Structure 1
Amino acid sequence: MFSKESFSKSRRSKGKSSFREHAVSKNRHERSMRKLPTDAEANPLGSTLTSSIITLVVGREQRLFAAHEDVLCHSPFFQAACRGQFMEATSKRITLPDEEPEIFSSVLEYLYKGDYYPRLVHNKRRNSWEIETGTGGTGSVESTVYHHGVDGELLKDTVIYCTAEKYGLEELKRVALRKQGLQSGIQCSTILSSARYAYANTPDTDSKLRAHYLALIIRSRSTFKRSGTMQLEMQAGGSQLFFDLFVALCNHVDDVASIAGSPRSVRTHH
């Protein structure tokens, strides 16, 4: 039997966390129509919220969302959809069957509010960014989401990043990447499946998310070395991820060797 290590030093009960996350997701799914923000709510994208309402049918369950057209059109993807044949003209309806409703909800929240739950908060005392804590006091609230396309759990911020890539929302990509860097306590299997998803859903020219995963695995190499999941993944092969990881590890070793062999280092040893 292979062990299921976490790359975090503090082990957490993944079963309880996953049950709570699914419960929250289920409660959200029971709402048939997303409530629109009021005009009084701050809209960082400068929309007047006076444009027509677009209905969006999302996912396999055909969950309904509603959004103002001028808010959606901050995304080049939706701008093209609203002006092309992608939208049903008479009903002003856009169908997105391959999207995950929970992810689309976060994207829509960002378009209206400039962030998505859980929010980034600035710790003035430490002068650092943190993820807001939930009622349970943990900083990794809803860190994963079930994705029908892979039939498993993925890091939510990774899926949001890839969705933002598709929708042309560069600032949302930066927000998602920063949040992902603050997550901890994720199982090796989830990290690897999320890394594969990142590689499959980002272009080769967009290396930031890929580099994040390579650095994460290198930093946690002692845990991944003992991971049965990692062993099976590498034996199966067939992914650009593992060649990139090999190159990154080689570069890391070269950097360490270069520092160790520098004149200053030699003088220190003498």
Structure 2
Amino acid sequence: MFKRSFAASKDRAGKAKKISKRSFRDDATKQRLRDALNNQTPETSPSIGGASPKLNSAIVTIAVGKDQRLFAAHEDVLSRSPWLASACREQFFSSPGQRRISLPDELPETFSAVLEYLYKGDYYPRLLLDKKRNTWSLEDDSAAAGNLAASTSPLTDAGAAKFTGFNDSATLYHPGVGDYLLRDTVIYCTALRLGLADLQRLALRKQGLQTGIDVATILRSARYAYANTPASDSRLRAHYLALIIRSRKTFKRSGTMQMEMERGDTQLFFDLFVAMCNHIDDVVEIG
């Protein structure tokens, strides 16, 4: 009885001692994280723009859209975005499992593509490189591998056929607009708000490879781009101006274009006028 009682008390003492050690280490770790957090900025964070994110960090819940659709992601992955990194720091002292970021103005479909990019470096449909032709194309599960060149840029193909169809995979319904927009344009604007410059470039390149887009969708998307990008960020705006100028015969015959221009209330059409004047000047100088 004495030995069994002594062994039992020894086990209890040892167990209490282990808990104490773990508690001490946890407190020291938390203190180091607090100190690092106080001195950390988005520009100096090692999680942003660095190596592949670690997948053993805390899980953060993101509520997206008016319906509060829930996503879950690792904190290190989200921290590749300066905006999301700041939001994660605000949730640092929340209990595990209760860290939550709210994005009521974003679309769940768009944020799903953002998460896919943060984890994989791309989003569906992926960019594919044809090394023999040295051309880029979009992944298409329904096409054979030998037909990758079917997704060519609308800026390089002449003719109006590319505007007569409707490309479902290239568009999404935006409740705030009440109609369909080019998906890559919405992703570009979301990436701009989240500080993901590489995702902006990726979305812009993918949009240049889309085909089968009707004039009305292009003009709605151009309006959305102007409403959701600052004047200092001219890449997406310039893309639409170049598209309209190079396909000017199609847009000139479009009643939608006329109606949109009469409606006005956007910087788009003045920029288009300036761009076309510059284009004419270039042609005159060459002549």
Matches within 5 A, 1:184-203: 184-203=211-230
Alignment partner of 1:50: what SS? coil
Determine if the alignment matches structure 1 residue 131 to structure 2 residue 138.
Answer: yes
Change (3 A) 1:174 1:52: same
Partner of 2:258: 231
SS at match of 1:67: strand
CA deviation after TM superposition for structure 1 residue 94, in Å: 1.1
Structure 2 unaligned blocks of 5 or more: 1-49, 145-149, 152-166
TM-score with structure 1 length normalisation? 0.76
Q: CA deviation at 1:136?
A: 5.8
How many angstroms does 1:61 deviate by?
Answer: 2.3
**Cα offset, 1:57, TM superposition:** 1.1
Question: Matched residues, percent identical?
Answer: 63
Partner of 1:76: 82
- Distance (Å, rounded) in 2 between the aligned partners of 1:151 and 1:84: 34
Which segment is superposed worse, 89-98 or 111-120? 89-98
Which protein has greater RCO, CA pairs closer than 8 Å, 6+ apart?
1
- Given the alignment of the two structures, is residue 173 of structure 1 paired with residue 200 of structure 2, yes or no? yes
1:118/1:141 contact within 8 Å kept = no
Secondary structure (helix, strand or coil) at the match of 1:142 reads helix
Task: Give the secondary-structure state (helix, strand or coil) at the position aligned to 1:64.
Answer: strand
Whole-angstrom distance in 2 between the partners of 1:201 and 1:215 = 19
Q: What is the aligned residue count?
A: 216
CA displacement 1:6-35 (0-9 Å, x = unmatched): xxxxxxxxxxxxxxxxxxxxxxxxxxxxxx
Q: Which residue of 1 aligns with 2:185?
A: 158
Deviation at 1:130, TM superposition (A): 0.7
Q: Quick one: distance in 2 between partners of 1:218 and 1:77?
A: 35
Equivalent residue, structure 2, for 1:113: 120
Between structure 1 and structure 2, the one with the greater Rg is: 2
Corresponding position of 2:94:
89
What does residue range 49-64 of structure 1 map to in structure 2 within 5 Å? 49-64=55-70
In structure 2, the CA distance between the partners of 1:60 and 1:125, relative to structure 1 (3 Å rule), is: same
Say which of 274, 282, 285 aligns to 1:247. Answer: 274
Q: Which amino acid aligns with 2:233?
A: D
Q: TM-score, normalised by structure 2?
A: 0.72
| Equivalent residues in 2 for 1:248-267, closer than 5 Å | 248-260=275-287
Instruction: Determine if the alignment matches structure 1 residue 101 to structure 2 residue 108.
Output: yes
Contact 1:134–1:141 under 8 Å retained in 2: no
Q: Is the 8 A contact 1:106 1:116 kept in 2?
A: yes
Alpha carbons of structure 1 residues 188 and 141: separation in structure 2 relative to 1, 3 Å:
closer
Q: Unmatched 5+ residue regions in structure 1?
A: 1-43, 261-270
Instruction: Report the AA paired with residue 104 of structure 1.
Output: F
CA distance in 2, matches of 1:45, 1:187: 41
- Runs of 4+ in structure 1 displaced over 6 angstroms? none
Q: Secondary structure at the match of 1:55?
A: strand
**Cα distance in 1 for residues equivalent to 2:220 and 2:102:** 27
C-alpha RMSD of the superposition: 1.8
Higher helix proportion? 2
Residue 101 and residue 45 in structure 1: after superposition, are their counterparts in 2 closer, same or farther (change >3 A)? farther
The one-letter amino acid of 1:158's match is: T
Does the C-alpha gap of structure 1 residues 59 and 45 become closer, same or farther in structure 2, counting only changes over 3 Å? farther
How far apart are residue 141 of structure 1 and its match?
Answer: 6.5
